[in-house]
Structure 1
Amino acid sequence: MEVLAIIPARGGSKGIPRKNVLPLAGKPLIAHSIHAALAATRVTRVVVSTDDPEIAAVAKQYGAEVLMRPDELAGDIARSEDALLHVLEELERAEAYRPDAIAFLQCTSPLTDSDDIDGTLAALDTQQADSALAVVPFHYFLWSQQADGSADGINHDKSFRLMRQQRQPEFVETGAVYAMRTEGFRTAGFRFFGKTVMHEIPVEHWQEIDEPADFRIAEERMARMARQRPARTARTALPARIAALVMDFDGVLTDDRLFVSTSGEESVACSRSDGMGIEMLRKAGLAMTVISKEQNAVVAARCQKLKLECSHGIDTKLPLFRRWLEERGIGIADAIYIGNDINDLPCMEAAGCAVAPADAHPAALAAADIVLEHSGGRGAIRELADMLIASGRIAATQG
């Protein structure tokens, strides 16, 4: 099923100005939704709909496509559904593109993860529904105030208090994920139509960013969830089939220092043992490349020495990462990405396995499936090479 994920993001937030691009846990708010969508296995394409050039630039940086929407679809009373329909119409007009379903994601729900998206889409598919939404269980008693000032129960009889086990299960719409069959949505013009089903997500993933304090609360919850995440061994974290290794350069193949001579020539510090690790992986037949943000001759020179493919001066790495894999017929789930800083996060979150050196930025460490014992430029790649060869999972892809 061809699934298009659409993330509407207006520039004119009134409650928190510039909310969608404000930093949360080391990256812009909207980047969290983009990363979750890119990592969802049921999503085949991710588009951000916006009226704002800064949001557009950030969305592209973190790997999403962008469609600019007209001003009349970006006002305070503009419907999200109209932005979704605009994306569908523009893609059909420009590319004759008609997805089977769409996933409507809210960028103000940064705790949403790829499983929440995949689960909602799976409910749509397996239950043969027309529309679906992400929910959390609700066990509270609701009250309303009557015209005479008295209170009355909404979801319960106030004269008889049932225990939780005796009550009919109730659920709250999280506002984070919606899924719709495209043709039915075009006809209905609203997110709920036909047979609607629910997908229950973890309560800890439910949070809307509406007030300034919500940023602090979300960061605290993210940090807590990261600490509680079960430790993964190399055996459980590595893909069952390892077909590619993609590397950042500075902070991975180097120790992240730059030396400048009196004549202005630049040099970096690398590890000979890392070079041996790369040679071992080459002999094992593993496809490898380097994607670096740095526009520096030293990057190309070192990669040429190591007989590595290299692309440098790349500000937005994820599109190149995906294209490089596609050209070689390698699925992203079979690829390992090793990075050390926030510009590596989109690739780390999309890859089948994300690896970080011991001295990586905290955001990269949190995103990593495997954190190495060695630092960048000081044996990290050799440690990873030994790990991959010992796993016995390398699938030779080079002739």
Structure 2
Amino acid sequence: MSSNFEKKNLIGLIPARGGSKGIPEKNIVSLCGLPLIAYTVKASLNSTIDKTIVSTDSNEIAKVAEEFGAEVIKRPDRLATDDAPTEPTIGHSIRELENEDYEFSDIALLQPTSPLRNSIDIDSAYNKYREGGFDSLLSVFENEYFYWDQKGNPINYDFRERPRRQDKDWEYVENGAIYIFSKERFLEHDNRLFGDIGMYVMPRERSIDIDGPLDLKLAEKIILEEKPNMGNHQETLEDLGLVIFDVDGVFTDGSVILNETGDESMKFSRVDGKGIEILKKDGFEVAVVSSEGSGIIEKRMSKLGIDEVHIGIKDKLSVYRDIKDRYGFRDKEICFCGDDIQDIPVMKEVGFSCCPANAQIEVKRISDYISRKKGGDGFVRDIQKTLTK
């Protein structure tokens, strides 16, 4: 059993081949507005993992993975067949990294079909692996069911003495979300599990493995209701005191309506207006910084009772820093909501960044929270619910 506690270099390896029978292009199918694999990439990047890698044979998956911040190793076709096991893919990735002289000691294997596993799960599993001195570790969930075999015989209980739930000796189900092991020991055993094996227990609701359409529907329902992907950002939410919004594409859908005389109009959501009201009642300071210079924006924000309004701004970062200094907030105490590339400098500086479902891919890549709601269609209210939950 390992007892070496010096700093180790941990890579996150996400195996994602292009073929899929149950759901076409499953690894990049849309789940609440995001490609499925993006959930795992973002969880890895938000964890203590040092390097996040996607192993794939698919150019489409590679493109999506890189857009969300992962590095890509292209695997040969022989490792991407329906019956190809994962272990040869792990070995191939190790060799590719060693060819680049990249040094690492441990691997966290993260399957892309576990979108509800978050960064806290990854960090907690790795801590257990290290502190427990395990040779390898897998994630599991508690089994609550009584099983019978095909011949009608009970497998894991005696029906004559049916145990109460609280008295049952638990079995655990492998959920496939996380496997952690050392590189050197993997090369010895050619298997992801070996030696003294540890288990990291995850809640059943975060253990969903996307295999068919029903799994997608269930995962979507959980994401919308519970937001399990907040991960390490959950503590950050407690520090927030100032929320800054862009307008175009955030309060609106980005459209401008012109009448016959050339006058502009914009559509705002009353639901979003209620969100602003609740944020303010809950003690949040609210500000608006928009690159658009429309007087319509000023009128709408005035009606919502937002006094800190800046329109026609080209350098949002400078205005952001001015607001921060005048209100006496630190970066970690500020949330910024934007949707386009001009918002990225501010989003990189704040403690918590958010974007709507219709944001540009460059913005989604760096956002801490990506809403399922679109700008102008409940996004601001969704942010309010997230921050005041």
**TM, length-normalised to structure 1:** 0.67
CA deviation string 1:22-80 (max 9, x = no partner): 1111111111111221222x212211111001111111111211111111111111111
Match of 1:6 among 6, 13, 17: 13
- Percent identical: 31
Q: Bigger shift: 248-257 or 202-211?
A: 248-257
Question: Aligned pair 1:114/2:119, yes or no?
Answer: yes
| Partner in structure 1 of residue 225 of structure 2 | 224
Gaps in structure 1 of 5+ consecutive residues: 295-310, 326-333, 373-399
From the superposition, tell whether residues 160 and 86 of structure 1 become closer, same or farther in structure 2 (CA, over 3 Å).
same
Q: Secondary structure at the match of 2:24?
A: coil
- Structure 2 CA distance for aligned equivalents of residues 348 and 206 of structure 1: 24
Give, in angstroms, the shift of residue 167 of structure 1: 3.2
| Partner in structure 2 of residue 126 of structure 1 | 131
- Structure 1 CA distance for aligned equivalents of residues 22 and 188 of structure 2: 33
Superposed, 1:1-399 pairs within 5 Å as 1-40=8-47, 42-94=48-100, 96-145=101-150, 150-226=151-227, 237-238=238-239, 251=249, 256=254, 268-269=293-294, 273-275=308-310, 278-281=321-324, 335-341=351-357, 342=359, 343=361, 344-349=363-368
- Structure 2 CA distance for aligned equivalents of residues 321 and 182 of structure 1: 38
Q: Secondary structure at the match of 1:191?
A: coil
CA deviation string 1:202-248 (max 9, x = no partner): 11112121112222222122222149x9xx999953379x9xx9997
Q: Secondary structure at the match of 1:20?
A: helix
- Structure 1 CA distance for aligned equivalents of residues 227 and 41 of structure 2: 19
Note if contact 2:116-2:219 (Cα within 8 Å) is conserved in structure 1: yes
- Structure 1 CA distance for aligned equivalents of residues 30 and 156 of structure 2: 39
- Structure 1 CA distance for aligned equivalents of residues 383 and 365 of structure 2: 10
From the superposition, tell whether residues 168 and 280 of structure 1 become closer, same or farther in structure 2 (CA, over 3 Å).
closer
Note if contact 1:131-1:193 (Cα within 8 Å) is conserved in structure 2: yes
From the superposition, tell whether residues 370 and 237 of structure 1 become closer, same or farther in structure 2 (CA, over 3 Å).
farther
From the superposition, tell whether residues 200 and 253 of structure 1 become closer, same or farther in structure 2 (CA, over 3 Å).
same
Give, in angstroms, the shift of residue 11 of structure 1: 0.5
**TM, length-normalised to structure 2:** 0.68
- Structure 1 CA distance for aligned equivalents of residues 253 and 354 of structure 2: 14
- Structure 2 CA distance for aligned equivalents of residues 321 and 236 of structure 1: 17
Note if contact 1:36-1:112 (Cα within 8 Å) is conserved in structure 2: yes
The code of the aligned residue for 2:211 comes to: D
Q: How many residues of Structure 1 are paired with residues of Structure 2 in the alignment?
A: 323
Note if contact 2:252-2:376 (Cα within 8 Å) is conserved in structure 1: no
Q: Secondary structure at the match of 1:178?
A: strand
Give, in angstroms, the shift of residue 251 of structure 1: 4.1
